[in-house]
Amino acid sequence: MTGQIIVHPSKESLAAASAARLITTVIDAQAERGEAHVVLTGGSMGSAILEALVATPAAEAIAWELVHLWWGDERFLPENDADRNATQAFQAGLAQLKRLGLDDSTIHQMAASDGPDGDDIEAAAQRYARALADEAAEGSTVPAFDVLMLGVGPDAHVASLFPGKDTLALTDVMTAAELDSPKPPPQRITLTYPAINAARQVWFLVSGEDKAAAVAAATGGASVSEAPAAGAHGTEATLWLIDESAAVGLPRGDDD
């Protein structure tokens, strides 16, 4: 496998330690490059890390006005729908981070199904690809994200890249529409592997025994088609940040 597995005792300690790691990584990125690009995940750990982040005073050490936030995927639903990843992120912590200087202009949401493209999901996916290209360095189509976080489903999906789907094979586009997701809602927009794998650091955030088989498969040599998480990696680091319950399927000695 590529990457390092770090096991935390509980979901709470995983979220708190990952939030602390995120703060340090963003501060380092800003010291080196001025601004930082962070990709958020949806799902349970997406909310947990934002809640932990806003609960620590150390979050104030980040220059939030120089942070770009992106999403790895989005459920294609109307704006403010409770199931949108962005809605959940605002509830979990983005609203508080705006008080620390995070600006709407650098919160890059994927379009909603009642947004500028209406229900044309392909157009909405392409719109996000253009937004990524606008912030990319010359000659690149996406920013070299400093941290890209990924939750992992029980079926080992990441972002909205699901087992056996055509989106897994895309190499020439940075975003894609998923029209028939096995997990509701069926319509989603996702980053593709070329976009994900441009990140400096990819962090998988996984809690719960229902994810243990997915963690074991993705880190144990399963194919990308079976376990999409196996196809994601960073250019500098790939970290599996998991809790003990998500680690129960790992061979003994594979964790820290």
Q: Where does residue 130 rank: exposed (0-12), middle (13-18), buried (19+ CB within 10 A)? A: exposed
The residue behind tokens 């909405």 is 124
Closer by beta carbon to ligand LXAUTJHC, 12 or else 139: 12
Rounded Cα gap, residues 110 and 150, in angstroms: 16
Judged by CB, which is closer to ligand LXAUTJHC: 34, or 207?
207
Residue 196 φ/ψ, nearest 5 degrees: -60, -45
Give the count of beta carbons closer than 10 Å to the beta carbon of residue 255. 14
CB of 31 to ligand LXAUTJHC, least distance (A): 29
Q: Which of 12, 21, 44, 200 binds ligand LXAUTJHC (CB under 6 A)?
A: 44
- Near ligand LXAUTJHC by CB under 6 A: residue from 43, 143, 163, 228: 43
Which x/- pattern, by CB under 6 A, does the window 155-174 give for ligand LXAUTJHC? ----xx--------------
Q: Which residue has the tokens 């909205």?
A: 160
Nearest approach in angstroms of CB 63 to ligand LXAUTJHC is 26
User: Measuring CA to CA, which residue among 177, 188, 175 is closest to residue 142?
Assistant: 175
User: CB of 117 within 8 A of CB of 124?
Assistant: yes
Q: In angstroms, give the least distance from the CB of 150 to ligand LXAUTJHC.
A: 6
Chain residues in the site for ligand LXAUTJHC (CB under 6 A): 41-45, 72-73, 75, 85, 151, 153, 159-160, 183
